[in-house]
Every structure is written in C-alpha cells, then in structure tokens.
Amino acid sequence: MASTVPQETRDLLAYIDASPTPYHCVAETARQLDAAGFTRLAEGEAWPVELGGAYYVARGGNVIAFRVGTKAPAEAGFRLLGAHTDSPNLRVKPEPDVRKAGYAGLAVETYGGILDYTWLDRDLGLAGRVAVAGEGGDRFETRLVDVRRPILRIPSLAIHLNRGYKDDGLKLNAQQHLPPMLGLAGAKDKDGPGALRRLVGEALGVDAGRVLSWDLALCDTVPCAVGGIDEELVFAPRLDNQASCHASLAALLAAGEAAVTQVIGLYDHEEVGSGSTEGADGPLMEWTLRRLAAAFAPERAETESLARAVSRSFQVSADMAHAVHPNYEDRHESGHKPMLNGGPVIKINVNQRYATSSEGAALFEALAREVEVPLQKFVNRTDLACGTTIGPITAAKLGIRTVDVGNPMLSMHSIREQAGTLDHPRMIAVMTRFLQG
C-alpha cells in the first residue's frame, strides 16, 4: 500500500532527527537556507541588502531569515513568523562526573517544564555545543557535537523496592533521581579529564584536555516515526516547537517574492522565559528590522521609516497547541477541544498569555479560507493556568500586531510527543499565504 503521509510531514521528521538541540536546529535551518540561495550576514558587518534579496543571520540557538520585498519596508511592511528552537530536557552541569554505588554518571539539571518521568528507561544520547581550546593562537573554537547512540540511561526503581508507588504515585527528586548512568565506574576515568570530556573529545576527534566547556543536552536516540493504523500520527521528540520552526522555514522557502518583506524568527530559550541574547526578548529581531528599514530609508529618516513599516506589519507566533486527550477530556474547555488532524489552532487568552486579538484571529481565518485549510480554536479552562508563548513578548517589544497559533499535539513536554500527519502541511499552506501579503 502506498504511503499517504504528506511529503511536508516526512520533511519535518527528517528536520527533527537532524536537530537534537537548538544549535543543531539552527545549523539545519542554515543548511536549507544556503541550499535555497540565501546569503548569510554577519552582525558585525554592514548589510548590503537589496530589494528582492534573501538573507539570514544566526546567533547560537537563534536564526532570523528574511526575503526583502519588492517595495521598501516603510511602503509595504513586514510579515513575520515566530517560533522557538528549544524544548524541555536535561542539561549537563559544569562539573559533570558523578560516581555512586560503583556506577559512573552525569550531573544534570532540568531545563524548562520537563515531564520528568518520561525520561526514565529511555536510550539516551548527548548533543550540543562545545568550546574547544584553539590552535594557532586562537583561545577557543566552538563546535557542535552529536553522540546519537545509547550511552546514557535513567533506570526506574523496581516496584518491589517502591511499594508505595501505586498509592502515592511516582515522585522524582531532580537532584537525586534524574542523574543518568554512563556506565560502570572504570579505571580509565579515575584520573585525567573524566568520562564526559573523554566522550566528547572522541566524538570531535580532539584530545579530551582541549574540551573546555559546553552547552550539552540529553536526547532520545530513537528516530521520529509515523504511526497509527492508517499512518495518521507522528511520534517524535521536540515537536514543541521544532514543528513550528520547520513550518516557518518551509513557508519562507515556498512563498516566493512579494511586495512585503518576509521574515522568520526562530528563537532559543522560550521554555525558560525568552530573556536572553538568543531569546525572543533579546535584541536581534528588533535590530534586524531596524537595519532593514534603515537600508531603504531617506537620510535621517530611519526612525520614521521603521515606524511606518511597523504600522503596516503583522506577525504569526507559532507554538504547538494542546489537543484534547481521550483519557483526560475534562481538562479542556467545553467547545474548545482541538483534534489531531483537525487543522491548525488559533490560541486565545484574554489575559494576554497569547497575543491573539479579534483582528488577528480574523486575518488568520481569512488566510485559511483562501487556501482551504480547516481551523480550530483553543482557550484554556478558566480554572487552569494558561501557558504562554513568544507572541506577547514580541508583540510588546516590536509593536507589531500578532496572532498566536499552533498545530494540535498530545504529550507536550514529554521526551516523545505526538501529532497528526495532516496538520503540518496545512500550517505551511496558511503561513505561505500569510507571507505573500
């Protein structure tokens, strides 16, 4: 039987498999932008941007890509897509080596709102960004590392040793119960650089003593998969929110030239508040829009040109949405129960946890009608606290009207999440139409 899984969804799974950390996500995004003819710009150099040109700038786990419109931003405005590259996980501490009861392990801490119990009894690898002592006078160089084999595991406690589990539930102390096993404590690691530096050094082909520091995360080693009896589901890590990153990238590549300037911003650190140089509350997007407006502004009219551009602009903030859970249907507001494969979701919260207004919702609905994509809406139960997105942050920071949307999913913040195969191409279709102005 021929597969019915859309190619856009298969492309998404390949994108996630290539992106175990935000740094790898940015690298994979840059690879695809390079292949599409985009020019990489450096923050510290002048930007020779031209009308109709395609460019991008990257900083750590943050990448901003844009296609300049055929009209100056002051005349046609910006169309922005925003998403985030990071996901909750376990990060390696600076002094990583742990030895307990004859085992070698790693000291880790939780990043973001991790669903911790889903990390037990999984085959885990290690990936991230590493600073290595330089050669030839350089103080250090930064490299990406990806050890995608089962080197780590957090074993659960047998029920025979935890008789209160069924009555009291599983209670995990992050400091005591989440350090993963790396293996048996061996003689080769009793002296010298330690097990982690040895592992990273071998992966990078450098002496372990040159490994200086790191931003390393644990990751699932099992590839993404298509599932369900009719291949209607996807099972994957980091759907929140690399699915929205891929949709934004795919839309930018598909949109083609337009009068408006098309921009995508993929940010790091959303799961911990966005307050960093690489996060949505950082300066990179604002500086990018200022530079683009100024590039086509009359002399001494840069501020006015930016203000005019912003007044003509709109942003779609894309972050995954909660689908209704068949075993916990009561956790959803009656009448607002998004379904997998039911279409993209408009997310609404009157307390501005989402940035959607009636105007933003109307625009997104109109775009969806134009490309014949079904939509759903989500509001939280009144008695449950609502999560948030980069939408309110960037809307306030940039002064650009914003709508918050996302595709429906289950198991959000689990090591292994679930979504539908049909929603991803639908989101790309609406985003593409949005970027076309």
pLDDT in tens, 390-436: 999 999 999 999 999 999 999 999 999 999 999 999 999 999 999 99
Residue 300 pLDDT exceeds 80 = no
Domain identity same for 110 and 199: yes
Given a cut of 60, is residue 187 above it in pLDDT?
no
Domains in the chain, number = 2
Q: What is the largest CA-CA distance in the chain?
A: 76
Enclosing domain of residue 141: 89-220
Residue 160: both structure tokens together: 């025979």
Please tell me the predicted confidence (pLDDT) of residue 189: 56
The reply to whether 230 falls in a domain is no
**Confidence at 137, pLDDT banded by 50, 70, 90:** low
Please say if the pLDDT value at position 188 is more than 70: no
Please report which confidence band the pLDDT of residue 163 belongs to, taking 50, 70 and 90 as the band edges: confident
Q: Which two tokens stand for residue 174?
A: 């992050």
**Pairing relationship of beta strands 103-111 and 181-184 according to DSSP bridges:** antiparallel
Residue 370 has pLDDT above 80, yes or no: yes
Q: Is the pLDDT of residue 191 over 60?
A: no
The CATH number covering residue 126 comes to 2.30.250.10
207 and 295 share a domain? no
Number of DSSP helices (H) and strands (E) in the chain, helices first: 12, 20
Among 220, 248, 275, where does a domain finish? 220
Half-sphere exposure of 7 (CA within 13 A, CB side): 1
The residue among 301 and 80 whose pLDDT is bigger is 80
Nearest to 218 by CA among 86, 25, 89, 28: 89
CATH number of the domain to which 253 belongs: 3.40.630.10
With respect to residue 259, please indicate whether it lies within any of the assigned structural domains.
yes
Q: 87 pLDDT exceeds 70?
A: yes
pLDDT of residue 22: 99
Residue-by-residue DSSP string for 57-84: EEETTEEEEEE--SS-HHHH-EEEEEEE
